[in-house]
Amino acid sequence: MSVIAPKFKLSGFIQSLLDNIFWILLLFVLIGLPAVFIILIVMPMPVLDGELLTPFLALSYLANPTRILPVIHAFMTTDIFRVMAFPGFGFAALLAASVIFAERKMMAKLQLRVGPFYCGKFEGILQLMGDGLKLISKEIIIPAKADKPIFWAAPVLFVATAAAFVALIPVAPGWVVADIDLGLLAVFAVIGFFPIITILSAWSANSKYPFIGGIRALFQMVSFEIPLILSLLGVVMVTGTLNLSEITASQSNFPWIIFLPIGAIVFFITMLAELERIPFDLPEAESEIVAGWLTELSGMLYGLVQLGSYLKLYAFAALFVVLFLGGWNGPMIIPAIPEQILTEGIEMGPITLTVDGLQSLFGNTITQEMLNGTFWFVLKTAGVIFFIILPRGVFPRVRVDILLNLGWTKLIGLCFINIFIALGLLYAGVLGPGGLQ
């Protein structure tokens, strides 16, 4: 029984789940099935394997594993699946959504309150869906003096750029949307777009507070990009590659945070600044400049910017994991899929169920390495995100001059120390050929 929800009952929860399933099934049977049948009857049916496809046969295909598994497998090997679903946008958006919920719950625990509670019966788990629906249903108000095309385009560009960032992250061995040799350079290029989009959005609103916020964001992002790039040079020097998959693969024994802790710390601090998170949320300082560059955005335009910023949060945390914490590397804890099921089929009493496509699906695409790599990657990313969220409950906001002083003097100095450490490790033979790694 939950402490903060003393009236919560497991039986009630299960009952509500069953209720939902019942209504979904009922609606499907009453509306979905007739609709499918009408479509199938109206459509001229093709002849497959010398057999005319009747509506009944077509429906039975959907439930036949032997028929549907190769289709799924074929779909999973396409680029569109990679971009839309697994290592790309869908996976990242799911993680980003859970980050928002986790953040709200965590802040609530830290601040001795409850947080989202009522929406979705169980600890407010559907709160995010409610917030999204609210944002979609809100009217979008555009300031009269705004430069409308740019004002509309900026939030969309923001999400697109964040999604492009996500595309460069390798999640599991071989599972990356864009596996390019200059991956880290591409990351820097994508990060370089954010200040431009921010200032475009801020300037096009033609309003005072967004303008100040945009200028602040520009200052902050541009001045922290230099320590950001310099702090990653150490990793590039010891690995000798810019390919993110190869950098991850090089950490099979030790993650680079053990050898280059200063670089990791500097990267973490610059990451907070790039993400506009507390204590570096100056561009959105509500007591000074209302909501900074987001002031004039309303409805789903605001929602898009929030989605983009949480995608960005996930992507930065994932980059930290890939570069310093060893990415997908970790002990093999996901059990292998039993060979017997793949080759001989599933024995259930007197019946043996044999599925043809199963072996190729689990042998080539959803392998044990992929599942294990994804598990470790998600676990490490969640850990990094926890530490990104934590300062919000502990620190107040810094001031612009303190922020710039930190970025231009202290962090750049630390970056050079980090580079010298990397050089020292290479020359001393600790790393590189014949070394530890």
Partner 1 sequence: MTTELPADIQSSSSEIQTDKPSSNWLPPGLALQKVDERIMTLNVGPQHPGSGHMRLIVQIDGDYIVACDPDPGYVHRGEEKMAEYRNYITNIPHLERPVIHDSCNMLYPYVLGVEELLGIEVPERAKYVRVIAAELNRCIYIMYWLAIYGIFLGHSTMFMWPTGDRELLIDLMEKMTGARVTHSHFIPGGVRNDLPANFEEVCLRQVNYFEKRIKEYAAVFYDNPILISRTQNTGVLSRQDAIRLGVTGSVLRASGIDFDVRKKEPYDVYDELDIQSIVMTEGDAYARSKIPWLDMMDSCNIIRQALQKMPKSGSVRVKLKPNPKGKGLDTVYKRVESGRGSLGCYIVSDGKPEPYRLKLSVPSFRNLIALPYLLKGEKLGNMPSVYWSLNYWPVEADR
Within 8 A by CB and 6+ apart from 308, the residues are: 155, 158, 159, 161, 162
Stretch that binds partner 1, among 131-139, 287-295, 341-349, 407-415 (CB under 8 A): 287-295
Lay out the site mask for partner 1 across 33-72 (x = CB under 8 A, - = otherwise).
----------------------------------------
- From the CB of 212, what's the least distance to partner 1, in Å? 7
CA angle, residues 151, 204, 154, in degrees to nearest 5: 35
- From the CB of 217, what's the least distance to partner 1, in Å? 14
Lay out the site mask for partner 1 across 199-228 (x = CB under 8 A, - = otherwise).
---------xx--x----------------
Stretch that binds partner 1, among 84-92, 98-106, 198-206, 284-292 (CB under 8 A): 284-292
The total of other beta-carbon atoms located within 10 Å of residue 423's CB is 13
Figure out which of the listed residues 2, 11, 111, 137 binds partner 1, where binding follows CB under 8 A. 111
Query: Cα(149)–Cα(161) distance, rounded to whole angstroms?
Result: 18
Residue 327, token pair as written in the block: 């990415």
**Nearer to partner 1 by C-beta: 112 or 144?**
112
Decide: is 279 part of the binding site for partner 1 (CB under 8 A).
yes
Figure out which of the listed residues 9, 148, 399, 410 binds partner 1, where binding follows CB under 8 A. 399
**Nearer to partner 1 by C-beta: 125 or 400?**
400
- From the CB of 219, what's the least distance to partner 1, in Å? 10
Tallying the residues shown for the chain, one arrives at 437
- From the CB of 124, what's the least distance to partner 1, in Å? 17
Query: Cα(47)–Cα(44) distance, rounded to whole angstroms?
Result: 10
DSSP 3-state assignment of 259? coil
Beta strand 51-52 with 47-48 is antiparallel
Which strand (E) or helix (H) includes residue 71?
helix 65-76
- From the CB of 393, what's the least distance to partner 1, in Å? 5
- From the CB of 408, what's the least distance to partner 1, in Å? 16
- From the CB of 230, what's the least distance to partner 1, in Å? 24
Residue 326, token pair as written in the block: 């060893």
Query: Cα(313)–Cα(183) distance, rounded to whole angstroms?
Result: 18
Residue 67 CA, distance from chain mean position: 32
- Using the CB atoms, write b or e for 268-299: b if 16+ within 10 Å: bbbbbbbbbbbbbbbbbbeeebbbbbbbbbbe
Stretch that binds partner 1, among 104-112, 146-154, 161-169, 310-318 (CB under 8 A): 104-112
Decide: is 286 part of the binding site for partner 1 (CB under 8 A).
yes
Decide: is 397 part of the binding site for partner 1 (CB under 8 A).
yes
Q: Could you tell me if 260 and 324 are in contact, meaning their C-beta atoms sit under 8 angstroms apart?
A: yes
Query: Cα(156)–Cα(284) distance, rounded to whole angstroms?
Result: 19
Decide: is 100 part of the binding site for partner 1 (CB under 8 A).
no
Stretch that binds partner 1, among 66-74, 81-89, 167-175, 276-284 (CB under 8 A): 276-284
- From the CB of 309, what's the least distance to partner 1, in Å? 17
Decide: is 285 part of the binding site for partner 1 (CB under 8 A).
yes
Q: Is 91 exposed, middle or buried (0-12, 13-18, 19+ CB in 10 A)?
A: buried
Q: What is the DSSP letter of 291?
A: T
Figure out which of the listed residues 114, 402, 423, 436 binds partner 1, where binding follows CB under 8 A. 402
Stretch that binds partner 1, among 31-39, 227-235, 274-282, 317-325 (CB under 8 A): 274-282
Decide: is 104 part of the binding site for partner 1 (CB under 8 A).
no
**Nearer to partner 1 by C-beta: 166 or 388?**
388
Residue 289, token pair as written in the block: 């400049």
Decide: is 112 part of the binding site for partner 1 (CB under 8 A).
yes
Handedness of CA 104, 105, 109, 113 (dihedral sign): positive
Q: Could you tell me if 345 and 351 are in contact, meaning their C-beta atoms sit under 8 angstroms apart?
A: no
Decide: is 193 part of the binding site for partner 1 (CB under 8 A).
no
Interface positions with partner 1 (CB under 8 A): 107, 110-113, 208-209, 212, 278-279, 281-282, 285-290, 392-402
